[in-house]
Structure 1
Amino acid sequence: MSKIDQSPQGFEEQLLTDLTAHVARRAEMVSVVRPVGHRTRFLRGWRLAGAFGLAVALTAGGLAVQTMRVGDRPPATASASEILRMAADAARQQPELTARPDQYVFTEILATTRELPDSGPYRTVRTQTWQSAGGVAHTQARYRPETDPNGWGELRVLRMDDPADPDKELDAFPPPAYHGDLPTEPDELLRYLRAHPVDLHLPEAADEEAVYGDESMPYTTARSMLDGYVPPRALGALFELLAREPGAVVISGDVVDAAGRHGVAIRMPGVIGGNEDFIFDRDTHVFLGTRGSVVRNGKESMHMAAARLRLAIVDRPGQLP
C-alpha cells in the first residue's frame, strides 16, 4: 500500500487530517445547541455519507458550479415527500446484503470539502471506510487525493473525540454499521427510533432532555443510519418516514453530485446556520449522497459534497469487494 506523496509541503498531510476529523465525527451530528422557543434545535455536523459510482475531480470553482447550478432540465414538479416516497420504492428494489457482527460495512465515497466552512480551497478526496457491522471494533479508513490514483495513504484507525476534551479520543466502539434489526413499516420504525436515538455525544452544557425529547429526534436518528447499511425494506420505511417530516423542500433545477451524476436535491429541515441536502438520482430516485452549505450574512456557501460510490460487506479492514 503506497503512502501519499507529501512533496507539496503540508498539503496532503493537512488533507488527511481534515478528512480524518470529518469521518471520525460522522456519528456525532451535534456540536452546538441553542434554545428555540420551548425546544432545543441543533446544528448537525457535516457528515461524509457512505459510497458508490464514477468519480470526477472537481476544482475549487467546479464544486460551486457543479453542485449548485440550475441545468437545462426543468425544475422538479414532485414535492419533497413524493420524491422521498419514490426513493422508498427504489430502495425496496435493491438486493439485500447480510452481515455477521464480526464483519465490516465497506463504503467508498468521493468527497469535496473546504478547510473552513465558507473560505479556503476545495479538496476532493476518495475515501474508503470499514465500519464494524456489529459495533465490536473501531472504524478504519484510508484516503487519496482524486488527482493521484496511486496516492492511497495507510489504513488508519478512527476514534471519536471526547466532547468534553477535544484532544482526547474515546475508547468506546461506534454503534453497529449494519442496521439489520430495523422495522420495515414506517409507524413501527418511528416508535423504534424514538426508543433508540443516535448518541449525539453532546457537550456537558447541552440540555440533553430537550434535545433527545424533541419531536425531530427520530428523523435525526434515521438520517444518521444512512452512513451505514440499511436493508432494502427497512430503507424504504426510513425514506417513507423522512417523507412525513415537515419542512423539506425540493431545490429547483438540475443538480450534479460530487461524482458528476445528475439528480434532484431535497433540502432537509432543522439545520441552524446552514443547509443539508439529500441528492437522489433524477430518474431512478436512488440515493446518491449529500451536500452541506453554511449561510453567513445571508450568503450561502458550499462546504462539502459527498457522493456514494460503493457499498459492500467484507470480512476485515483493508479488504476490497
Structure 2
Amino acid sequence: MTRRDGFEEQLLTDLRAHVVRRAGAPSAARPVARRVRVPRGWRLAGAFGLAVVLTAGGLAVQTMGVGDRPPPTASASEIFRLAADAAREQPELVARPEQYVFTEFLATTRERPDSGPYRTSRAQVWRSAGGLAHVQARYRPENEPDGWGALRVLRPNDAADPRRELDELPPPAYHGDLPTDPDELLRYLREHPVDLHLPEGADEKAVYGDERMPYATARSMLDGYVPPRALAALFELLAREPGAVVIPGDVVDAAGRRGVAIRMPGVIGGNNDFVFDRDTHVYLGTRDSVVRDGKESLFSATALLRVAIVDRPGQLP
C-alpha cells in the first residue's frame, strides 16, 4: 500500500510551523481487514518494531533529564489499572455521527528532533465523530491569547507526493462500539487492527499476526474519544502489555500538572511515554523523545486539556 495517513503528522507539522512563523524564525502496505489508522506518524520497521517518527507527547522540557531518581512506587501494570479505575468515574459523552469530537491541548515542540528552542502552543482540533468529514484545527502560541490562526482543514498526504493532499476521509473519532471487557476488547482489536500502511514487500501476515499488534491498536484509540467503560477496558488491556516501565520520579506536563510517566515498549530510535495524573491517575497526554549517541532529548510533548462533543468545526463547548 502506497498511502499512509497524515492527519496527526500534518497537525503537528502545522502547529510547529505556526509557532515558528509567529516567533519570526525560519520555518523549518495493504489492509487485510477493516482497520483504524495509526496516529501521529507511527510506522513499523522489521518484523514489528515501532519505528516512531516522533509524535505529540505530554511532559514539560525540564523533566527529560535522566539523572538519579528515586525508584517508582508502583509498576506500569498497577498504574494502568489505577487509570482504568479513574476512567470508570468519568462522565460519558455521547455523539451522533454528524457531530465532532473537540479536543484542546498544549503542545511543546521543537523545530528539529534534537536541537533548537522549545515552544509551547495551544491547539484546538475538531474530528468527525462518525468519520464523515475531514479534521479541522487551529493553533496559537500559548503566550498570545489573541494569536489564533485560521481554522484549516487537514487532509492526508499522498505518500508518493507528500505535497499532494488526498480526499480520503479519516476514521471515526468516536469509539462508541468498543467492548467493555478486556478479553472481548483484545479479540476485537485482533480483528480490527490499526492500519499501519506497510511499505511494499513487508510481511503483512507476520506484522498483523504479531501478539503485540492489539496493543498498538489499543494505543491508537486514545487519539479519539473512548467512552469510560471501554477506556477502562483499554487501560486494563495495556496493563498486560509486556515491557512497559515506569519512569522514576515526578514529571510535570505542559499544563503544570504533576504526573507519572509510563514508557511504552517497542519504539526504535526514541521513546514514547504515556502520562497520568500523579494523584487521580487520569490520562494527561504523551511525550516523545529521540535517542542519539546514547543521549535522550525531548522532541514534542502534549498535555490534553479538555474533550467535548460539538455540532460543527469552530464551535467551542
- TM-score over 0.5 for the alignment? yes
- Report the equivalent of 1:82: 78
> Paired residue for 2:196, among 200, 213, 222?
200
Q: Deviations over 1:273-299 (max 9, x none)?
A: 100011101111000110000100111
Distance 1:164 1:174 in 2: 19
- The Cα of 1:10 is off from its aligned counterpart by 6.4
- The Cα of 1:170 is off from its aligned counterpart by 2.1
Give the aligned CA root-mean-square deviation in angstroms: 2.7
Q: Deviations over 1:207-231 (max 9, x none)?
A: 3333222221111111111011000
Identity %: 71
Within 5 Å, which residues of 2 pair with 1:280-295?
Answer: 280-295=276-291
> Paired residue for 1:48, among 33, 41, 56?
56
Q: Deviations over 1:169-197 (max 9, x none)?
A: 22111110000000000000001011111
Q: Deviations over 1:56-91 (max 9, x none)?
A: xx9xxxx4314547799x543110000000000000
Q: 1:205 to 1:125 in 2, by over 3 A?
A: farther
> Paired residue for 2:147, among 143, 146, 151?
151
Q: Deviations over 1:31-78 (max 9, x none)?
A: 4x432xxx332213433369xxxxxxx9xxxx4314547799x54311
Q: 1:28 to 1:280 in 2, by over 3 A?
A: closer
> Paired residue for 2:115, among 111, 116, 119?
119
- Report the equivalent of 1:12: 22
Q: Which runs of 5+ in 1 are unaligned?
A: 1-7, 19-24, 51-57
Judge conservation of contact 1:178–1:230 (CA < 8 Å) in 2: yes
When normalised by structure 1's length, the TM-score is 0.84
Q: 1:270 to 1:9 in 2, by over 3 A?
A: closer
Distance 2:160 2:307 in 1: 33
> Paired residue for 2:42, among 30, 55, 59?
30
Judge conservation of contact 2:77–2:239 (CA < 8 Å) in 1: yes
Judge conservation of contact 2:54–2:290 (CA < 8 Å) in 1: no
> Paired residue for 1:178, among 174, 177, 180?
174
- The Cα of 1:148 is off from its aligned counterpart by 0.6
**Which amino acid in structure 1 is aligned with residue 42 of structure 2?**
V
Determine helix, strand or coil for the equivalent of 2:305: strand
Within 5 Å, which residues of 2 pair with 1:154-173?
Answer: 154-173=150-169
Distance 1:192 1:148 in 2: 44
- Report the equivalent of 1:98: 94
Q: Which runs of 5+ in 2 are unaligned?
A: 1-17, 29-36
When the two structures are aligned, how many residues end up with a matched partner?
A: 292
Q: 1:134 to 1:49 in 2, by over 3 A?
A: farther
